Structure formats: C-alpha cells, structure tokens
Chains A and B, each alone.
Chain A
C-alpha cells in the first residue's frame, strides 16, 4: 500500500462519525488537563487509559493521541495567563507569553500561541506522514541486536538530556529497569523478587507506575502549591485579533521552528520540553533585537509554541515505525497501545493500516479542532483554571485510584499506587527526573528480551553487538551521548572548583 492509499484509509477512520467524536473528546480532555498547572500529558494519558478498555483500538488510539497533542496545545494557556506552565513543554511559552498578558494583551498572546501551535502541529504531521512509512520499511530488517542497541541509545539519550544531574537521571533509569524485573521471568519462569507474593507474580502494571510516579506525585506538588492563585473572575483577556504586522513577525520563527521541533521530537530523548527551549534560544540568537525577548516578544512566544507541538507529532515517528518510544510521554503512549493489544513497530503500517494511518490522519483533524477550541472558545475553556485547587487535588486522586482499580480489580495495586506516588514525590524533591524511570520501565522488558534473543543467536557471545555496523554505531552514539555531557560538566565543575 502506498502512502496516498494509506492516508485515504486513515481518513476513513478519522472522518467517520466515531473517529470525529473520539478525536474531539481526546483533544478537549487533553486541552483541559494540559491547562491545569502541574498535571502533564503523562498524567492525562494515564488517566484516560481505563476509558479505552473494551473500545475498538483505532478510535481509542486516535483519542489517546488527541489527548497527548491536546495537552501540549492546552499547556500554553496557563503559561500565558498564570505564569504557571500547564506542562513542562510550555515553560518557555511563559517567558514572553506572561509579560504579554501583563501588558493587557492576553488575548493576543493566546491567539499567537494557538496559531503557532496549529502550524507547528500541522507541518509536523506532514513530515510524520512522509518519514514514518520510510522508517518502517527500513526497520523491518532490524534484528534483535539492533533493537537492543536502539533502546539502549534511547535510554542514554533521555538520561543525558534530562534536566539536572546525568548521574541522577541514570539512577532513575536503572531503578525503572529494576522494577520491571520484579515478577515471573517470561522466558525461564523463574520468580524474581516476588518473595512468594502472588500479587507480584505478574509484575507491576505500567499504569500503576505512570499514575503513581506522575499523577499522584504531581498531586503532592499541587498540595504544596495549593495556595497559589488560580484564575480570578475579573481577569480580562483582551482582544484575540492579530494585526498583519503581528502575523508577519511570527511567520519567520514559526516556519523555522516547526522543522526544528519536528526533528528534535523524532530524536530519542528530546521531546517537547527540550525542543521548546532550544527553539527559544535559537530565535533569540538570530533576532535583530534580542533584548525584547522576555518582555513580551511575539517571536519569543511563537518559537517555543510551534516547536513544542511539532516535537509532539515528531515523537510519533519512532513510536509508530520502530515501536520504540523516545520519551517518557511516548512510553506511556506505548503502554496505551499495548493495553489495546496493538504492538506498534515496523509491521504496524502493513498489518494494521487503519491504526497507523488513522492516527496520522486524525492529527490533521485534531489540530483543526484545537485551533477552534483555542481561539474562539478559549475565554470559556480558561474558566477551568478557576477550579479551586483542593477540589482538583481530590478529583485527580480519585481518577488515579479508579484507573488502577479498573485494570486489575485488586486492592493490592492501589497500595502500590501509593508507594509509587511517594517514590515519585521523593524523586521530585531530590531532583531525580521521572521520565527516564518510566521509559526504562516500559523498555526494560523489551530490552531484556532483545538482549537474550541476541545472545541466543550468537551462542552467548557479546560480539554480536559490535560485529555489524548498525548496532555498533548505535551503541557508540549512546556512549558519546553519555560521555560528552559528563565531560563538559566535569570540566566546568573543575573550573568552578579552582576559582573558589
């Protein structure tokens, strides 16, 4: 099936009544949860997963994808209005969006963010449509060693690109991998670290980890910040209209950063957050008047907004065509696929074209919906920001508990949710990044399997990972991605040490 025919299949799914409905539900829920400061796309996806039980995979996944890019789209609203980023991908949006809102131009800032997001998202879906099938057909020949090396590279990339200490990020990744070793080993049947507890035989469901490490831990942070202001009723948004000069000013950054964002989204480890920062710095560097940045510059707002949405669609490239997530959020997306019995990877395009192309086609539609939701309807949607924090906290706790209970009907899992919630909170306090943990948890089982398959092929010799060029080069990239930042940090620390 060629791409054109595939896309037609996709639009059949996306433009069916069911498809339209679930895209709409997905982007609305995503926008609303994304807006809530403190609740990110991972929580949004994890909270929505139980709803998809028993649904048809194609509309369900179309909806889940909508939740993801809807959350990135919606996160900008609270960045602009409250200076409290809805998600980490829109932190850079607040740099210029909030000053603009303080100058009484909140409506204009929201409009710029919505249009930039729309263009970034749409450009990136076109690129996704072109790149994902190509990568799928290449990846079909990858053997277990290449897969192992790819996943290994994904983990090192996310660790070295994480905010803060690389050592802490690696510790988080190793810990996530360790948690997945708990349970009965699928290959030999050995019980590992179960202590004879029946509840642990199947290991931890990823939803417990995702909801605990993100939703419950984010609730703890919300509790600490519960007295922060929410949107007051009298806050005026101002006009949403943009002048021709405004549009002209944003055209440059939007067209450039849509591509930058996409590229960073495809690469493992980066994603919306890093893409938005890089694009912001990029535009500031090349701007004629960089001193305007941070004081309400249109360019400074348009750049991260187009980039973070472009990165979101970009992140679907490795997920759909390799079956390997490159970020914490796409790791949870992979979980959503697996819950529905769909294995993404090089075979997805040929085996389940309605899902592969349905998701891509639905993104065109979803971006249009989001533009409508975020332009004329934004004054009404923004009302959700005035939900009192205490009520929001109790409701999110409830959603998490119901979500976990509905996968296993086992109260033991609810206690584990509390345990992982406490762990996630501790990780936040002590600056251990949580995305490497969840990515390692999702990839861990697949990595172990790929490793053992490789070793079985090579009769127990590790040389299988260095004999062929692809795994070797991937592992080298992984090594470099760890060593270079570590070296740079070590050098700058040593300089700082000497100066003191």
Chain B
C-alpha cells in the first residue's frame, strides 16, 4: 500500500491534517463573532485532508532528478544531524556563557568538523567574526547580545 514515496508522504500529511482538524474543532466558540476563530482553521484542515488524498492517489511518476534528490547517503544525513546537534548545544549554552565565547567555539569546531583544515585562518575567523558582530550589534545597533561570563 505504501509502495511509492507519494503514498508515504500522503499518509503522513493526512495524519497531520487530521490532528490539525481535530484541534480546530476543540476551539472555543463565541456567540457574537460573525466569523469565529475556528472557521479558517477548519477550512484549512479540510483542504489539507483533501490534498493529502490527492497526493496519495496521484499517479505522477517521480522523476529521476527528484529521486536523486532524496537519495542521500546515510553518512551525509549523519553530518547534517551532527551540525544540528552542534547548533542545539550552541543555543543551550548561548545565554549562560555568552555570545562571543560560544560563537568562537561554534565557528571553529563546525568548520573543522566539515573538513576545513586551515586551522590558522579558522582560528582567526572564529575569533574576529564574533567580536566584530558583537561590536556592530551592541555598540552600533543597540541590540544587546548575551554577555555571559565575559566582563564586557
């Protein structure tokens, strides 16, 4: 039943639409609003439900280019997942440790991880970029970035 990718995606989107529609029907009603807050969400939910059925039963054959696009080696997906994990850790520590230190570490290790081996340039960029950005945002634009454990 789930032979083609469109069937799998269709089913997934059908479930999303069903959940969204269910939540739309839980929205509270107000007597006096001519069009209440639930009208548009209900309409959208039904529309997505219908579209997911269309996608499920569509006989459009996937082109080779489309197939190649989603055929990503597991190792490469792992690399992307690792970068996302690094960003996650960055966000986690960002406010506590401060913008300059976390950003320096992130740029250095992320670039290194992705295969950048010119470590001298890497150190230079990962030090200069956060300092320059911090100066622009905090002093020129008046947008305060977390200072963290540094004194300035």
Contacts and interface: CB of A to CB of B under 8 A. Distances in A.
Interface of A: 50-51, 53-54, 164-165, 167-168, 170-171, 174-175, 177-178, 181, 185, 187-188, 190, 192-193, 219-220, 223-224, 226-227, 388-391, 393-395, 397-398, 401-402, 405-406, 409, 411, 414-415, 418, 421-422, 425, 428-431, 448, 451-452, 455-456, 459-460, 489, 493, 496-497
Contact of B107 (A187, A398, A421): A398
B48 A171 contact: yes
Interface string B53-66: 01100111100001
Closest 4 CB pairs of A and B: A390-B114, A390-B116, A190-B37, A185-B37
A168 B52 CA distance: 9
A448 B33 contact: no
A56 to B, nearest CB: 13
A398 B51 contact: no
Given A190-B30, A431-B69, A459-B34, 8 more contacts: A174-B44, A174-B51, A224-B80, A389-B114, A397-B106, A397-B110, A418-B91, A455-B34
Nearest to A448: B40
Nearest to A184: B37
A293 B139 CA distance: 53
A493 B84 contact: no
Contact of B41 (A192, A418, A489): A192
B88 A418 contact: yes
Contact of A391 (B41, B88, B103, B125): B125
Interface range on chain B (Cβ under 8 Å from partner): 35 or more
A35 to B, nearest CB: 19
B58 A425 contact: no
B90 A401 contact: yes
Contacts of B111: 388, 390-391, 393-394
A224 B71 CA distance: 11
B74 interface: no
Contacts of B38: 190
Interface in B1-49: 5, 9, 13, 20, 23, 27-28, 30, 33-41, 44-45, 47-48
A460 B33 CA distance: 10
Contact residues of B: prevailing secondary structure: helix
A192 to B, nearest CB: 6
Contacts of A415: 88, 91
15 contacts: A50-B137, A165-B55, A167-B51, A167-B58, A171-B48, A178-B45, A190-B38, A223-B79, A227-B115, A391-B121, A393-B111, A411-B91, A429-B69, A451-B40, A493-B61
Contact of A181 (B41, B66, B142): B41
A456 B55 CA distance: 35
B120 interface: no
A388 B55 contact: no
B133 interface: yes
Nearest to B88: A418
B87 interface: yes
A171 B84 contact: no
Contact of B87 (A54, A390, A397, A429): A397
A306 to B, nearest CB: 28
A398 B110 CA distance: 11
Contacts of A409: 144
A418 B116 CA distance: 23
B150 interface: no
Contacts of B90: 401
Most buried by A among B20, B44, B121, B142: B44
Choose among B40, B84, B107 the residue with the greatest number of A CB atoms under 10 Å from its CB.
B40
B90 to A, nearest CB: 7
A85 to B, nearest CB: 15
Interface string B110-135: 11111110100110011001100100
B143 A406 contact: yes
Contact of A188 (B37, B115, B126, B130): B37
B106 A394 contact: yes
A224 B77 CA distance: 8
B101 interface: no
A227 B54 CA distance: 38
Contacts of A405: 94, 145
B83 interface: yes
A422 B83 CA distance: 11
A371 B13 CA distance: 47
Contacts of B76: 223-224
Contacts of A219: 83
Contacts of A168: 55
B91 A171 contact: no
A149 to B, nearest CB: 16
A192 B72 CA distance: 37
A429 B72 CA distance: 9
A398 B137 contact: no
B99 to A, nearest CB: 8
Contacts of B13: 171
A402 B48 contact: no
B72 A224 contact: yes
A175 B37 contact: no
B82 to A, nearest CB: 10
Contacts of A398: 103, 106-107, 129-130, 133
Contacts of B91: 401, 411, 414-415, 418
Contact of A431 (B59, B66, B103): B66
A65 B111 CA distance: 32
A488 B64 CA distance: 21
Contacts of A455: 34-35
A493 B76 CA distance: 34
A394 B37 contact: no
Contact of B145 (A402, A418, A489): A402
